[in-house]
Every structure is written in C-alpha cells, then in structure tokens.
C-alpha cells in the first residue's frame, strides 16, 4: 500500500527522509508501488520498508540501506545500486536488468526469479544468497563473493566470474560452459555433473571440490589447484592442465584423452582405469601416483618423475619414455606394451623391428636404466671402449654393459645399461664428451706418429 504522506516526505530529499526515519523509528513507511524513476536517493534509509512493485528504474540509490526490506517485483532496470546494502532483502522476481550492483551487499538476499541480465555485480557480496531460477546472462561477477550461494536452474550465459569466491557453493549439474572462472575460488564446492566445457579456469582453486562426472572437455585449467579434488569419472578430453596441482586428486575412470598435463603435479594421485591416450605428461611429477589398468598408449612421458609410481596393468604401447625417471619402487608388472619410443616424435623405437614379449618390458626398464648413444658416423670402437673403461674406473660402476646395438635410419644406436643409483643424464653427457675427447687425442697421436714416420723417411732418403 502506498502512503502519499510518506512519498511526499521522501521527495523532500534524502537528508530530510533519513532524519524523519531516525526520529520516528516506530513508523514503517508504506511505499508499495511508488514511482521513483530517475530519483536521486543516494544513501537513503529504506531498511525494513515494503517496496514491492516500486519503480526505481534508472534511479541512483547507491549506498542506500535496504536491509530487511521487501522488494518483490521491484523495477531497478538501469538503476545505480553500487555499494547498497541489500542483505536479507527479498528481491524475488525483481527487474535488475543492467543495473550497477558493484560492491553491493546481498548476503542471504532472495533473488529467486530475478532478472540480472547485464548487471554489474563485480565485488558484490552474495554469500548464502538464493539465486533459484535467476537470470544472470551477461552479468559481471568479477571478484564477487558467492560463498555457499544457492543456485538452482540459474541461467549463466556469457557471464564473468573471474576471481569470484564460490567456496563451498553447490553448482551441481549446472551448465557453466563458456563462463570465465579464471582465478575463481571453488574450493570444497559441489560441482558434480557440472558442465565446464571450454570454460576458462586458469589459476582457479578447486581444492577438495567434488567434480565427479563433471564435464571439463577443452577447459583451460592451467595452473589450477586441484589438490585432493574428486574427479572420478570426469571428462577432461583435450583439457589443458599445464602446471596444475593435482596432488592426491582422485581421477579414477576419468576420460583424459589428449589432455595437456605438462609440468603438472600428480603426486599420490589416483588414476586407475583412466583413459590417458596421447596425454601430454612431459616434465610432470607423478611420484607415487596410481595408474593401475589405465591407458597411457601413445602418451608423452618425457622426463616424467615416476619414482614409486604404480603402472601395473597399464597399456603403454607407443608411448615416449625419453629420460623418464623411474626407480626400483616403480611398479611395471603386467605392462601391456608392444613397443615404446626412447625419443620424441616416434624416434628410436624400442625394441627395434619387433615387439616386447610378455614380461620383457619390466625386465628391460626395471632392473636398470638405459643410456642411448646415437652415432651417425662410423664408430671408433677403441675410443668408445676406452671411454667406457674410464667411466667404470672413475665411478666404480661395476655392472655397466651394452644392452643392445641397433640400426635405425642409418644411425647406429648403442644402448648401455647402468644401475638406478647413478644419475643417468650426467653419465650420458660425460660419456659422450669423453668419447669425443678420446677421438681427438687419438687423431693427434696418429698425426704425431705420421709426422715422425715422415721425418725418418726423409733422413733415410738423405743418406742415399
């Protein structure tokens, strides 16, 4: 109901209105359905007032106090509500299209069926607010606090949640495809079966979040925190997780075909029965991770840290294992592998021109490390032998031996077996440099011998 006297009091200005309210706290103003379009009401006190059906379109009510007010079906289209206090306010079915709500306080507000299309909610506080059937299309929620906000059938098309706080929020089953969530806080949020396809989650915090069966195909998760996250049976096909932290994450049965996990941390992560076909794991840390029965065929495992990792029953056929770091605790039982590559881009097939026999993969890699020396020119076997002998003398490596000699595209590959305790990269570099130095010394010695022989010949000829 609209009280004309109260409306006249408001029209006299904010200072007079606020003073009247403070002097008469027992009076509850009646402004239902009032037409306040284009009014300048900065800092007005509307706390506890029933403003249902009020027209405040394009009005300036920035910094106004609406605490505990009723604003059902109110029209705020294009209004300035920046910094306003709307805590615990009933804004159900309100029109807030295109309004400025930046830095506004909306904690525990009821925004059910409200229209916030194109609204600016940057830095707004919406913790524990109700956004059931709310329209948020094209809204700006950068840096907004949405901690434990209630979402149900909310429309999120083309919105920005960059750096927003959604910690502990329930977004289960909601379609967030195309939304910007970079650097957002989604820790401990319920995101099961949520659609994040093609979403930007760069640097987002998803620690301990429930992402079971979530759709993250093509999503950008570079640098994201997924520590202890539940990603069971989630879809991550083609997703980018470069430098992401997945320590102790549960990825059981996850679909991760062609995902990018370069430099990612998966220490103690759980990935049994996961599909990691053609996944990029170069320089990743998968120490003590569990890959039981997973598919790593054609994956790139270059320089991966895999000490203590469980690869039992894994399909690793066609994968690249260049300079991967495994140890005696790495489990390679029942590996399914026809062959692997010891260099990227499918170079240096191992074994050459045949497939691994049952159990051979484990014997080849588990008992020792392998140094691969590639020679494109004729080998000086004497120089190589001298270099190997010098290496064993200086390092006390007693069980260094030639594992195999193979011809690959006119290159001769000599594979040397060394114990795990030795730093394979340092040994490989030292051995190659020593071989080159020995070759050079032999050439110098041969040159001196040839010169000496020539002088002796000249002397003999000179006496004749």
387 occurs within a structural domain: yes
**Structural domain of residue 426, as residue ranges?**
381-463
Least confident span in 59-68, 130-139, 286-295, 361-370: 361-370
445 occurs within a structural domain: yes
386 occurs within a structural domain: yes
Among 122, 147, 315, 251, residue whose Cα is nearest residue 221: 251
The per-residue pLDDT for 89 is 95
276 occurs within a structural domain: no
Average pLDDT for 357-386: 81
393 occurs within a structural domain: yes
Average pLDDT, the chain: 90
73 occurs within a structural domain: no
What is the domain count for the chain? 1
456 occurs within a structural domain: yes
Q: Flag whether pLDDT at 155 surpasses 70.
A: yes
User: In the numeric block, which tokens belong to residue 256?
Assistant: 């991760």
pLDDT digits over 394-451, tens only? 776 656 767 778 777 777 888 887 766 567 778 888 888 988 898 888 877 765 555 5
Average pLDDT for 25-33: 93
Q: Quote the pTM value.
A: 0.77
**DSSP letters for 352-397:** TTS-PPTTHHHHHHHS-EEEEEEESS---HHHHHHHHHHHHHHH--
CA-angle at 84, arms to 81 and 90, nearest 5°: 90
CA distances to 68, 177, 205, 365, 404 from 409, rounded to whole Å, are 79, 47, 48, 24, 16
443 occurs within a structural domain: yes
pLDDT digits over 202-250, tens only? 999 999 999 999 999 999 999 999 999 999 999 999 999 999 999 999 9
Q: How far apart are CA 132 and CA 111, in angstroms?
A: 7
Helix (H, G, I), strand (E, B) or coil at 176: coil
Q: Is the dihedral of CA 183, 197, 189, 207 positive or negative?
A: negative
First vs last C-alpha separation in the chain: 138
Helix (H, G, I), strand (E, B) or coil at 65: strand
User: In the numeric block, which tokens belong to residue 136?
Assistant: 């948020």
The per-residue pLDDT for 380 is 86
């Amino acid at each position: 109901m609209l009280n004309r006297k109260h409306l006249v009091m408001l029209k006299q200005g904010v200072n007079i209105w606020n003073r009247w309210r403070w002097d008469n706290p027992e009076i509850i103003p009646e402004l239902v359905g009032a037409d306040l379009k284009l009014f300048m009401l900065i800092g007005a006190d509307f706390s506890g007032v029933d403003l249902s059906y009020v027209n405040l379109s394009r009005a300036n009510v920035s910094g106004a106090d609406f605490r505990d007010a009723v604003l059902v079906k109110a029209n705020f289209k294009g209004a300035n509500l920046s910094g306003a206090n709307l805590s615990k306010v009933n804004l159900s079915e309100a029109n807030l299209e295109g309004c400025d709500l930046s830095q506004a306080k909306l904690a525990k507000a009821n925004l059910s069926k409200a229209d916030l299309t194109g609204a600016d909610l940057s830095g707004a506080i919406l913790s524990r607010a109700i956004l059931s059937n709310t329209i948020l299309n094209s809204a700006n929620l950068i840096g907004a606090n949405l901690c434990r906000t209630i979402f149900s059938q909310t429309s999120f098309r083309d919105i920005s949640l960059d750096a927003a706080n959604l910690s502990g929020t329930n977004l289960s089953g909601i379609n967030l495809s195309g939304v910007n969530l970079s650097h957002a806080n989604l820790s401990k949020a319920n995101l099961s079966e949520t659609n994040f396809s093609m979403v930007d989650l760069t640097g987002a915090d998803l620690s301990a979040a429930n992402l079971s069966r979530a759709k993250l195909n093509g999503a950008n998760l570079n640098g994201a925190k997924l520590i202890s996250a539940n990603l069971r049976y989630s879809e991550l096909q083609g997703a980018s997780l470069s430098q992401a932290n997945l320590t102790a994450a549960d990825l059981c049965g996850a679909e991760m075909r062609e995902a990018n996990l370069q430099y990612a941390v998966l220490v103690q992560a759980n990935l049994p029965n996961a599909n990691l076909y053609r996944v990029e794991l170069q320089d990743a840390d998968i120490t003590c991770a569990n890959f039981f029965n997973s598919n790593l065929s054609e994956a790139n495992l270059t320089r991966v840290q895999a000490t203590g990792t469980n690869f039992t029953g894994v399909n690793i056929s066609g994968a690249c294992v260049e300079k991967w770091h495994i140890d005696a605790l790495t489990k390679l039982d029942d590996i399914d592998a026809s062959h692997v590559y010891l260099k990227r881009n499918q170079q240096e097939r191992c074994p050459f021109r045949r497939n691994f026999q049952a159990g051979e993969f484990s014997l080849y890699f588990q008992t020792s490390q392998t140094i691969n020396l590639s020679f494109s020119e004729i080998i000086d076997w004497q120089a190589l032998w001298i270099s190997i002998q010098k290496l064993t003398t200086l390092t006390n490596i007693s069980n260094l031996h030639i594992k195999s000699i193979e011809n690959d595209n006119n290159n001769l590959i000599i594979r040397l077996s060394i114990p795990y305790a030795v730093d394979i990269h340092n040994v490989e570099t030292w051995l190659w440099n020593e071989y080159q130095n020995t070759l050079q010394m032999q050439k110098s010695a041969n040159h001196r011998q040839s010169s000496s022989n020539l002088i002796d010949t000249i002397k003999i000829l000179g006496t004749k």
